[in-house]
């Protein structure tokens, strides 16, 4: 698979880089700059090689037209600070401002284009509907580097179509992500433990299905726990629940037992009467949630159980928090799993935090990125890879054009 070196001497060449700068914002303030920091090495490498670096990215989910709250403008100053060089901001993506900014570039300069998704052609489903935008985007550059792992599972103009129009290569971030995912799926060192949390069990069913044949242990937390508990016939009160997935969860419980995979559920739950940091809380057995309460975190006994199940693991993948970690009373379960991964990393295990809410959680809870083996920038892309799906943004880089 072609890397940046395959593009040859880049001095004076215009290189379009698809980065992932989809950061959380509070107004115009970045609340977690992890994705910006992860994008810097590839951009720096290109700029230092004398390329004229044109960075494109999206933020949020605008509907194919400009929306000020989704502008990439707040990212410019932080990107420039981390790069240690100026970044010019284009007010559009392929319009007059973008063309003028690119025309004015010197070797080593960096331009950031406005949000790709302000253009309907970026996310259009049909190839022909993406073509005009892809042509315009490719027309700004001489070469293309794919470095936005968080979007490689999308067949979008800047991810897929541009790679068919320009000499293309994989950036360092995408390369590292793919290498880690291969380590998780092809020959994982054992015991191999997978921790899955988050709100929706339906989002993780295909991952559970595929990992049943690979992982030694599946530890379940977060809102998805309650559909499993319901599948066992337990009272779950007002907890998050997916009625359509009960039968599938029951099937996985049976299959795990049949195939010798440990599928671990919480033994106790922290509950409250409402989804609020101020709700009165109590810890109850997982099979005895009061009818008027909702589960909001795994309990302390479960946290100890999960830590014990991770203690001897040689490979760990974690995607999804154990509870409503944004609220202090319900953060302990997620913090315990994070600490267990830190301990496993220190003992030589490969530990992977699978992007999205998990990455935000570990940072919010005070953990540093380098305490883990790898923090992914793409939760959805990681999950689809682990489901066994082909990722369009990776596949296109390996095809002859």
- Among all residues, which ones are annotated catalytic? 35, 200, 356, 380
Annotated binding-site residue? 59: yes
Q: How many other C-beta atoms are found inside a 10 Å radius of the C-beta of residue 187?
A: 9
Q: How many other C-beta atoms are found inside a 10 Å radius of the C-beta of residue 97?
A: 17
CA 90 vs CA 23, 75, 99, 291, 303: distances in Å:
18, 12, 8, 55, 48
CA 315 vs CA 162, 188, 195, 287, 374: distances in Å:
36, 6, 11, 30, 11
Annotated binding-site residue? 150: no
Annotated binding-site residue? 187: no
Please state, in angstroms and rounded to a whole number, the distance separating the CA atoms of residues 225 and 205. Answer: 12
Annotated binding-site residue? 161: no
Q: Are the CB atoms for 354 and 318 separated by under 8 Å?
A: yes
Q: What is the CA radius of gyration of the chain?
A: 22
Residue 217 main-chain phi, psi, to 5 deg: -140, 135
Annotated binding-site residue? 37: no
Annotated binding-site residue? 142: no
Annotated binding-site residue? 158: no
CA 128 vs CA 63, 121, 133, 162: distances in Å:
19, 9, 10, 13
The tokens of 74 are what?
């707040």
The tokens of 380 are what?
């959805």
The tokens of 114 are what?
């406005």
The tokens of 379 are what?
């939760």
Residue 362 main-chain phi, psi, to 5 deg: -65, -35
Annotated binding-site residue? 60: yes
Annotated binding-site residue? 295: yes
Binding residues for (2R)-3-phosphoglycerate: 35, 117, 154
Binding residues: 20-22, 35, 58-61, 117, 154, 204, 295, 326, 355-358
Binding residues for ATP: 204, 295, 326, 355-358
Binding residues for substrate: 20-22, 35, 58-61, 117, 154
């Amino acid at each position: 698979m072609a890397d940046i070196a395959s593009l040859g001497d880049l001095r004076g060449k215009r290189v379009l880089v698809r980065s992932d700068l989809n950061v959380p914002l509070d107004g115009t303030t970045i609340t977690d700059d992890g994705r910006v920091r992860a994008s810097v090495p590839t951009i720096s490498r290109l700029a230092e090689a004398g390329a004229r670096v044109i960075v494109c990215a999206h933020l949020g989910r605008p509907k194919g037209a400009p929306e000020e709250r989704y502008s990439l403008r707040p990212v410019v100053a932080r990107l420039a600070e981390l790069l240690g060089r100026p970044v010019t901001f284009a007010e559009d993506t392929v319009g007059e401002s973008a063309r003028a900014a690119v025309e004015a570039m010197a070797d080593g300069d960096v331009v950031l284009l406005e949000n790709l998704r302000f253009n309907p052609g970026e996310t259009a489903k049909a190839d022909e509907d993406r073509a005009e935008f892809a042509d315009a985007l490719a027309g700004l550059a001489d070469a293309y580097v794919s470095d936005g792992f968080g979007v490689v599972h999308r067949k979008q103009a800047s991810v897929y179509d541009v790679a068919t129009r320009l000499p293309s290569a994989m950036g360092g971030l995408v390369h590292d992500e793919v290498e880690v995912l291969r380590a998780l799926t092809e020959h994982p060192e054992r015991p191999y433990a997978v921790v899955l949390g988050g709100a929706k069990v339906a989002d993780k069913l295909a991952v559970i299905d595929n990992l049943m044949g690979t992982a030694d242990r599946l530890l379940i937390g977060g809102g998805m726990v309650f559909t499993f508990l319901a599948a066992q016939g337990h009272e779950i009160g007002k907890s998050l629940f997916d009625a359509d997935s009960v039968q599938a969860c029951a099937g996985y419980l049976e299959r795990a037992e049949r195939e010798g995979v440990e599928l671990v559920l919480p033994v106790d739950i922290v509950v409250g009467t409402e989804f609020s940091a101020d709700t009165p809380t109590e810890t109850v057995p997982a099979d005895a949630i009061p009818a008027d309460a909702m589960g909001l975190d795994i309990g302390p006994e479960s946290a100890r159980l999960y830590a014990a199940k991770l203690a001897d693991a040689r490979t760990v993948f974690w995607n999804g928090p154990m509870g409503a970690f944004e609220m202090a009373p319900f953060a302990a379960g997620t913090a315990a799993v994070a600490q267990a991964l830190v301990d496993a990393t220190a003992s030589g295990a490969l530990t992977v935090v699978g992007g999205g809410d998990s990455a935000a959680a570990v940072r919010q809870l005070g953990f540093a990125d380098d305490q883990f083996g790898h923090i992914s920038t793409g939760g959805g892309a990681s999950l689809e890879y682990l489901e066994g799906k082909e990722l369009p943004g990776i596949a296109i880089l390996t095809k002859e054009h």
